[in-house]
Homo-oligomer: A and B are copies of this chain.
Amino acid sequence: MSETPIRFGIIGCADIARKVSRAITLAPNATLYAIGSRSLEKAKAFAASNGFPPQVKVYGSYEAVLDDPDVDAVYVPLPTSLHVRWAVLVAQKKKHMLLEKPVALNVAEFDVITKACEANGVQFMDGTMWMHNPRTAKMREYLSDAQRFGQLKLINTCVSFGSDPDFLKNDIRVKPDLDGLGALGDAGWYCIRAILWAANYELPKSVKALHGPVLNEVGVILSCGASLYWEDGKVATFHCSFLSNLTMDITAIGEKGTLHVHDFIIPFQEKEASFSLGSETGFTELVTGWVPLPSKHTVTTDIPQEAHMVKEFSHLVRTIKNNGSKPENKWPTISRKTQLVLNAVKESIEKSFEPVQIPS
């Protein structure tokens, strides 16, 4: 039984909306329905340069998208500082919402947004695409395997990309009034989400920023790191940066296993993604080699991970529409935990690297 695809509106013409609009057209249960920008010309140009089908409605304001009764769901790629204002309106207009990360500047704002979603019965999901790559489920299976991986002991994530002078001067992610969380909100969001994902979303008990964060002249973080500590002794460290070469690593080490992935946010290639596993690894007799060798696993996918995201989101929306059921709580829950840890890291930086306790 084929169902009507979920009709998406997009508010804003950010670069990332190019990729997500394509994903909406690739997802089997979603359709690109409308785009709105503060300027009609900009919206038209965006639609044209990204090959939008002619039937896609083009609006000269965000409100027009939200007021269109045929729009089921809205994708919000606006700068973080605008999230609370627009996301609340999206929810009030009873539109389901895919919201770019970082979701908010702080947990209080985050809660305003998700409470509005709850009050209006709309699905919330943040735009962390890698969560939806089929590879991610495969890696999670391994981490949950008591025999092959065992108890998780250590997680390290590194996310960085090199920025040109134009980015460091003009990108919204270095502007205190736009994406004020800088590299922590962008690259760091991924680091923290990956750590929580590996820890099965158990929150750490405390967080401590590493020394030496790099800030720009208006105080936005360009590079920082932190260590995270759990009650059971698990430890995590991460580094996020706009100032070094492209790196997207998760290393997770358990009592019995080791997971490595080097492209967890954006796979090296669109249609396949790999990771490497070691399990109960020992040495050859004279300690001159490893037994067994780590194994490489590749997961292929017919549609890119961002289309999987749209598909999963649209499936949830369809279920709500068909059954009148409540939105899936998993997505706002893990999103909030990410925001909570992220802001704890920021607080630790502001408090001269003191440990910050995470309320459990």
Contacts and interface: CB of A to CB of B under 8 A. Distances in A.
16 contacts: A18-B286, A153-B243, A154-B158, A154-B239, A206-B211, A208-B211, A225-B227, A235-B239, A237-B239, A245-B254, A245-B281, A247-B278, A262-B276, A268-B293, A269-B289, A288-B304
Interface string A254-280: 111110101100111110000010111
Contact of A153 (B223, B256, B260): B223
A245 B286 contact: no
Nearest to A283: B266
A22 interface: yes
Nearest to A152: B244
Interface residues of A, number: 67
Given A227-B237, A266-B287, 17 more contacts: A153-B241, A154-B241, A154-B244, A156-B158, A156-B251, A161-B281, A206-B211, A210-B227, A211-B229, A239-B253, A241-B253, A244-B253, A244-B258, A245-B281, A260-B262, A267-B289, A268-B290
A127 to B, nearest CB: 13
Interface string A225-250: 10101000101010101011111010
Contacts of A355: 211
Given A19-B288, A153-B223, A154-B158, A255 B245 contact: yes
A69 interface: no
Given A235-B239, A262-B260, A246 B281 contact: yes
Contact of A286 (B19, B156, B237): B19
Given A243-B153, A268-B294, A283-B266, A211 B227 contact: yes
Given A239-B154, A266-B290, A233 B258 contact: no
Interface string A186-199: 00000000000000
Interface in A294-318: 294, 304, 306
A247 B269 CA distance: 26
A163 B149 CA distance: 15
A285 B287 CA distance: 46
A162 interface: yes
A233 B224 CA distance: 11
